[in-house]
Every structure is written in C-alpha cells, then in structure tokens.
Amino acid sequence: MPDISTLAILSIALPWAGAVLIWLVRDRQPQLQHALAVVFTLAGAAAALAMIPQRSEVNVLDFPLGSAFGQVTFLPDGLAVFLAVVATTIGCLAVVFSVDYMKGEKQLGRYYAYVLFFIGSMVGLVLSSNLLLIFVFWEITALCSYALISFYNDDPKAVTAGIEALIITQVGGIGLLAGALFLYAYQGNYDVPTFLAGADRLPPNVLALMAFGFLVAAAAKSAQFPFQTWLPDAMEAPTPVSALIHAATMVNAGVYLLARFYPAFEAVPNWKLAVVSVGAITALMAAVMALVSNDLKRVLAYSTVSQLGYMVYAIGAGGIFASQFHLLSHAVFKALLFLSAGAVIHAVHTRDMREMGGLGKQMPLVKVVMIIGGLALAGIPVLNGFWSKELVLEAGHEGGPLWAWLFMLVGAGLTALYTLRFLTMVFYGEPRSGQHVHDAGPAMKVALVPLALGTLTTWLLAGSFGHFLGKALPEGHDVESTGALLLQVATAPTTFVALAVVALGLAAWWQRARLAGLAHSLRGIGTMASNSFGFEAINRAVVSVTEASAESLRTTHNGVLNWNVMAILVGLVVVLAILALGGA
C-alpha cells in the first residue's frame, strides 16, 4: 500500500495524466478515448478511496517552491479526503455515463480531457493546504468549467453561458486571492493549518476583510445570492458535465472553503450572520424559481442552488457536520437526478418538460431511480436527503436567527412541491410528443444504479462520517454514533415541523386544482421568478456599462508606438512619485 502522500499525488496526477493521454490519442479512436477516460477516473477514485484509512491531521509532503510561493503542502484530513472521494467517485460515474451519452459526438478528446483535468484539479483544491495553491486550483476548476459549459462551441448560448460562469467565478476568485495575499503579508507564508490554529494573531480588521472576501469567493463559486445566475445558465453543457459541476466538483468548492475556514472566521463580527443570510435567501429564492421553470435541467439547477443554500446556511449556524453531511447526500442524489435527467433528455431530445410526460412506461429503470433521487431531494424519510436536511434545520434552529429558519422551512415545503411537479411532468400523464423514445444505454444504467443505492443507504454512515471528519470539525462538535444521531433527528421537534411543512408541500401539489385561486393571486411572484428576480437584468446592465466604457477608452488604444511608450513613461513617473511620497 503506498503511503498517504503518494496517494494524494496519485489522486491528482492520475486524472491529469489521463487527460493528457486522451488528448494525445486524437479523435480517430473514440473507443480508446472512452476506455482511457473510464480507466483513469477509476484509478483516481481508487487512489482517493485508499486515502480514507490513512488520513492525517498534519501536513504531508513538503515540496519547496521558493520564497514567494512557499511550500507545496497537502493536508489530507477527514474533510479534504471526503471531498476528494466525492469528486473522484461521482466524477467517475459521470464519465461512465458519458460513454453512452457522448457516443458519436465529435471532439471527444476535448470533452474527456477537460473532464479529467477538472476532476484532478478539484482533488488538488481540497487536498492542498497552501492558500496560494488553493487559489491556483480554484482558478483551474473555473477554467475547466468554462471550457465544458461552452463545449458545444457552435451554439452562442453555450458560449455566453461559459463566459458568464467564468466571469462570475473570477469575481469571487479576487476575494480568495486577496485573502491569500493578506495571509502572506501578516503570517509570512501561505500555510493554512498555521492560520487556522492561530487566526487571532492577525489584526481584527484584516481578518474581517479575509472573512468577507472568502464569503464572496464561496458565494460566486457555489452560485449563492447574489451570484446565482451562472449555474442555471450553465445548463447548456452536456448533461454529464452538469452532473459533474453540480455534484462532484466546482460548486462544492465554495462550501468546502467556508467549512475549512470556519474556525478562523467564526469570531469575526457579523460574519456568521452574513453567511446565514446568504444561505437562507438563496435557498428560498432558488426554490421559488425552480417552481416556475419548464426546463428540466433548469429546475434541477435551481434545486442545486437551493440545496447549496442549505449547506451555506448550516455553516453560518455553526453546523459544519450537518452541512458536510448534506453535501454528501446532495452529491449522491443530485448526481443521480442529473444523470437520470440526462438519460431522459437523451431519449426525447428536448429539455422542455411540457413536451415530456408518460415516459415511465418506456424507461422503467430511469423512472424508479429518478423518483428515488427526487424523494431524497424533497426530504422524504428514510432517504439520505431527509436525515441530512433535518440535521441542517436542527443546526439552524439552534445556531441561527428565527427568520432564517422560517425561510428554510418554507424552502423545504417548496422543494417537495417542485420535486413532485417535475416528476409528474416527466413520467406521468399522457405522452405529449409522438416521437420514438429509446431506453437508457447499458453504461448509463451502470452509472445510475450505484447512485440510487447510495441515495438509499448513505445516511447509515452518519456516525462514522462524523468520526471520519474528526479534527476537521471545529471544537465542541461532539461526534456521535449513527444510532444516537439518527435517534436525535427522529425525536427532535424540528423534524416534525419540517416533515409537516414537506407534507404540506406534497398536499399542495395533490390539491393543485383547488388551489388555482391562490396560485392565480401569486402569479406576480411567479413572473418575477421566471425573470430570475431581475438578476439577469442586473447582469446585462453590468455588461453594457463595461462595454460602453471600453468603447469610450478605445481612443487611447491607437496602436501608435510612440503613444504607448509615452504611457509607459507616465506610468513610471507615477510609480516613482508614489514611492517618493510614501518614503517621505
């Protein structure tokens, strides 16, 4: 058995090596490309899984990069190994699914190379304990997501969505980079464990700047309010990529960042309140938007945004364990939902749910697994989503303000409502399109079944999962056994309140004909929600202002060498003047 530092490097390097190989193979041998992708992601997943028994609470691997960059260090503790396992195994299943989904597509090399590069970078992001390195991996994942969202690069909508995702996550990246530079300025290196062990050595105002910078970074990456628009637009990507972004890589990074640095920022005034508010507003708003969308993938995207809101909310309320446990449940059932949605979309060649319906007979397996995933999303016992969502709500009830808790409760009810809505629209009723529907391929089924089994069972891991996270949790987090934890959830009053709200949501869908009057009076909110509450308009305004100012600055870029040298000289004079004034 290789030691932990070798495994850490392997779990990054294997997907990356696979990416290079697939790219070298060229697109004339698609079978070989499929096979290479599956083999290398499987090997990466195996390396990540092998880290589980050997996880370490201290830095492993010390590789100096010179004074300005510090050490390349990895910290494979419970939290990091957990996320690395999620990224590689879910990523592996998404790749297996792609074998059927992407069959016959052109430019498979580009597709698989970016997918594997993406998976490896996500593992690097969670394993590294050098803040500058975290930033580098953070930006690589942003670049990969851009390239994959715009994979169909002859479709202007896909290209726009990719650029939108890139720009918004870059805005967040600035927050992270600023945090890294502050850390270097005040600590002398980028070492994260040193920082977490003694964050109070930094001046309080610098710590607050870092805390809120990281919150911006996490919100942009995890598509939280007010940056949530990029994730639904990213639905132009091939569906396995959506599953990858939503469940395995990318959006988990924001939640990871908040959970990792929670011990350092906990004491910053108003930070926890800000995190709770961001999570609560996002969870409720995205749930409303999921209710009115007719695009199957967009509904799932909004549900991801909403569920990420739950995780962020739990972190703000101090429930790190609850948030990470919900992340685990969500990764499993959301990958399941996306991949089964991919099978449906692959079968009917549309994403519009109004053109689906009655698909249950043609694709029985997909129907069963998607209903399992949907019920987990809605928080129905005893699926994994139920336990983790109840833990989140309980943590929020203890540690967060009451209004935010009520937001989350309403969000839970709405989740149940929109889940039933999309399941009914896809699988029940009369078929609305006359075209031939073919069932999912064998590789698709191979990817779906383990995820469905996971959705049914991962809640049994609650106790050992808490034990596994171990020291990565902040102090005062008691780790309980599975039985005690489940009993605690099953007997907590918040559980029954939440279940009642969920039942109310289900009943509302059942009795939707009678509630027509109510629905009619809420139509205004529905219209606002379909326009994404004006956030698209804000995005467009930002873009047009940027373009207008760039246009007016165009005269300064006249391509005349003399003018450019003049600008350099003026810049030099300005810098010298600032230095002279600063020295005085």
Q: Tokens 């336990």 label which residue?
A: 387
Cβ atoms < 10 Å from Cβ of 16: 19
Asked if 556 touches another protein (CB under 8 A), the answer is no
Q: Which residue, 90, 506, 39, is CA-closest to 337?
A: 90
Q: Which residue, 259, 260, 310, is CA-closest to 284?
A: 310
Residues in contact with another protein, counted by CB under 8 A, come to a total of 10
Q: Which residue, 379, 574, 347, is CA-closest to 489?
A: 379
Asked if 442 touches another protein (CB under 8 A), the answer is no
Asked if 553 touches another protein (CB under 8 A), the answer is no
Residue of 185, 537, 565, 573 interacting with another protein (CB under 8 A): 565
Question: Could you tell me the smallest distance in angstroms from the CB atom of residue 66 to another protein?
Answer: 16
Stretches 339-347, 353-361, 529-537, 558-566: which one binds another protein (CB under 8 A)?
A: 558-566
**Residue with Cβ nearer another protein (205 or 556):** 556
Residue 386 structure tokens: 């139920």
Question: Could you tell me the smallest distance in angstroms from the CB atom of residue 562 to another protein?
Answer: 5
Residue 64 parent element (H or E): strand 60-64
x/- track of binding to another protein for residues 123-162 (CB under 8 A): ----------------------------------------
Residue 426 parent element (H or E): helix 402-427
**Residue with Cβ nearer another protein (68 or 402):** 68
Question: Could you tell me the smallest distance in angstroms from the CB atom of residue 184 to another protein?
Answer: 25
Stretches 350-358, 404-412, 462-470, 556-564: which one binds another protein (CB under 8 A)?
A: 556-564
CB 384 within 8 A of CB 332: yes
Asked if 559 touches another protein (CB under 8 A), the answer is yes
> Rounded to a whole number, what is the largest CA-CA distance in the chain?
81
**Residue with Cβ nearer another protein (402 or 560):** 560
Handedness of CA 228, 326, 100, 435 (dihedral sign): negative
Cβ atoms < 10 Å from Cβ of 24: 10
Peptide bond into 382 cis (omega under 30): yes
**Residue with Cβ nearer another protein (491 or 556):** 556
**Residue with Cβ nearer another protein (484 or 569):** 569
Residue of 1, 68, 402, 560 interacting with another protein (CB under 8 A): 560
Residue 16 structure tokens: 């990356």
Q: Which residue, 332, 367, 341, is CA-closest to 454?
A: 332
Question: Could you tell me the smallest distance in angstroms from the CB atom of residue 561 to another protein?
Answer: 5
Residue of 569, 570, 576, 579 interacting with another protein (CB under 8 A): 569
**Residue with Cβ nearer another protein (491 or 555):** 555
Question: Could you tell me the smallest distance in angstroms from the CB atom of residue 408 to another protein?
Answer: 55
Q: Which residue, 223, 194, 240, is CA-closest to 38?
A: 240
Question: Could you tell me the smallest distance in angstroms from the CB atom of residue 69 to another protein?
Answer: 21
Instruction: Give dist(CA 194, CA 540) in Å, integer.
Output: 42
Residue of 67, 554, 580, 581 interacting with another protein (CB under 8 A): 554
Site for another protein in 370-429 (CB under 8 A): none
Question: Could you tell me the smallest distance in angstroms from the CB atom of residue 544 to another protein?
Answer: 20
**Residue with Cβ nearer another protein (1 or 68):** 68
Q: Which residues of 323-354 are buried (b: 16+ CB within 10 A; e: fewer)?
A: bbbbbbbbbbbbbbbbbbbbbbbbbbeebebe
Asked if 558 touches another protein (CB under 8 A), the answer is yes
Residue 7 structure tokens: 């495994």
Question: Could you tell me the smallest distance in angstroms from the CB atom of residue 132 to another protein?
Answer: 26
Residue 410 structure tokens: 């309403």
Instruction: Give dist(CA 68, CA 268) in Å, integer.
Output: 28
Reduce the DSSP state of residue 289 to 3 states and report it.
helix
CB 538 within 8 A of CB 168: no
Residue of 266, 531, 557, 576 interacting with another protein (CB under 8 A): 557
Q: Which residue, 370, 18, 72, is CA-closest to 192?
A: 72
Taking the mean position of all CA atoms in its chain, how far away is CA 525?
A: 27
Site for another protein in 304-363 (CB under 8 A): none
Instruction: Give dist(CA 287, CA 135) in Å, integer.
Output: 31
CB 335 within 8 A of CB 316: no
Stretches 91-99, 146-154, 524-532, 559-567: which one binds another protein (CB under 8 A)?
A: 559-567
**Residue with Cβ nearer another protein (559 or 583):** 559
Instruction: Give dist(CA 122, CA 140) in Å, integer.
Output: 9
**Residue with Cβ nearer another protein (520 or 554):** 554
Reduce the DSSP state of residue 395 to 3 states and report it.
helix
Stretches 127-135, 259-267, 380-388, 554-562: which one binds another protein (CB under 8 A)?
A: 554-562
Asked if 562 touches another protein (CB under 8 A), the answer is yes
Residue of 519, 548, 566, 577 interacting with another protein (CB under 8 A): 566
Residue 58 structure tokens: 């201290």
Question: Could you tell me the smallest distance in angstroms from the CB atom of residue 563 to another protein?
Answer: 9
**Residue with Cβ nearer another protein (487 or 566):** 566
* β-bridge mates for residue 60, sequence order: 74
Asked if 205 touches another protein (CB under 8 A), the answer is no
Stretches 216-224, 404-412, 428-436, 560-568: which one binds another protein (CB under 8 A)?
A: 560-568
Residue 60 structure tokens: 């492993």
**Residue with Cβ nearer another protein (205 or 558):** 558
* Packing angle of the helix pair 364-378, 402-427 (nearest 10 deg): 170
Question: Could you tell me the smallest distance in angstroms from the CB atom of residue 558 to another protein?
Answer: 6
x/- track of binding to another protein for residues 510-549 (CB under 8 A): ----------------------------------------
Which 8-state DSSP code applies to residue 459?
Answer: G
**Residue with Cβ nearer another protein (503 or 579):** 579
- Give contact residues for another protein (rule: CB under 8 A): 554, 557-562, 565-566, 569
